[in-house]
Amino acid sequence: MSAWEDNIRKVVPYVPGEQPKVDNIIKLNTNENPYGPSPRVEKIAMDMEKLKLYPDPAASALVDAIANYHEVSSDKVFVGVGSDDVLAMSFLTFFNSGKEILFPDITYSFYDVWAELYKIPYKAVPVDDDFRIIKEDYHGENGGVIFPNPNAPTSIAEPLSFVEDIVKNNQDVVVIVDEAYVDFGGETALPLVDKYENLLVVRTFSKSRSMAGLRIGYAIGNPKLIKYLSDVKYSFNSYTMNMPSIIYGVESIADDDYFKETVAKVVDTREWFKSEIEKLGFACPPSSANFLFMTHESIPAKEIFEKAREAKIIVRYFNKPRIDNYLRVTIGTRKEMESFLSFLKKLVKDN
């Protein structure tokens, strides 16, 4: 190793789901919404002349739209470039005590990457044999808590009382609830924001609002938390949210009917597909997300993953302890899921 490399910060990066470079595939590996953004987003005319100007660093129009939608004041809202940006900024801002932060051992695999990047000590707390978070394991001394609800990749959601128990028992640290998938069947923790000043709820437009390509995420919390987050953001990069994202994000959140319609379609397809694959010997935890976490009684997950790929169907396989015999399958359109079901029926029959 060269001498100049001695002082380089070295991390093992997060590996996102594959974005294939070929056509004519069924892509069920990255939890995108298959129905596209609101027609209002498609119809709005973007003034290209505005792109020569810097965007509003506060993204005020988008912040106000989100605040109005959730019926909170604008000083309780922070926006970022996808929820990953919001979460990374939150790690940097709130987890500085030197004590271990806590998150589940089976969860969103970016958490340990951020902890390593920012040199934050952490403990991955084991979920139980049914992949459920054990809330009592988060009652001890720590430097902060973060967990998704619903969890990923398991798709399991916990009720509001469960979330409140963790927040109530950790009022000396910041607790972050990552609600990337909550719109598909989870119970939001937003009603607790006014009750607990240490709670931050993080959301995204990438899943239920079908806007993964524009990278819009946001957090809602006590104004003091939002102020601290904003101070760190402005010390890092003033212009994180681009102008098209602000404009299209405002239009998306204004179309609540379309949002609810497409979410309902995903949930309906999810429940139909789950019932069909159970007939084939698959098992899944109850899902409150836009994906299923599935395993077969006799066919290894890796084999299904590889054979599906040969058939131009891409799902997510995690070669990790405890979950290496599970696949995470995004819910696509009914037609896409019918095609995948036909593939699975043939695979099971041939085995």
pLDDT band at 1 (very low <50, low <70, confident <90, very high): low
Which ranges constitute the DSSP H helices of 211-255?
223-236, 243-254
A 10 A CB-CB count for 335 gives: 11
**Token output for 234:** 């402005």
A 10 A CB-CB count for 274 gives: 18
Return the percentage of the chain with pLDDT > 70, whole number: 100
Task: Say if residues 332 and 266 touch (Cβ distance below 8 Å).
Answer: no
Measured between alpha carbons, how far apart are the two ends of the chain, in Å? 50
Q: 44-94: per-residue pLDDT in tens?
A: 877 888 889 899 999 999 999 999 999 999 999 999 999 999 999 999 999
Q: 218-239: per-residue pLDDT in tens?
A: 999 999 999 999 999 999 888 8
Read off the pTM: 0.95
Inter-axis angle of helices 243-254 and 60-70, to 10 degrees? Answer: 20
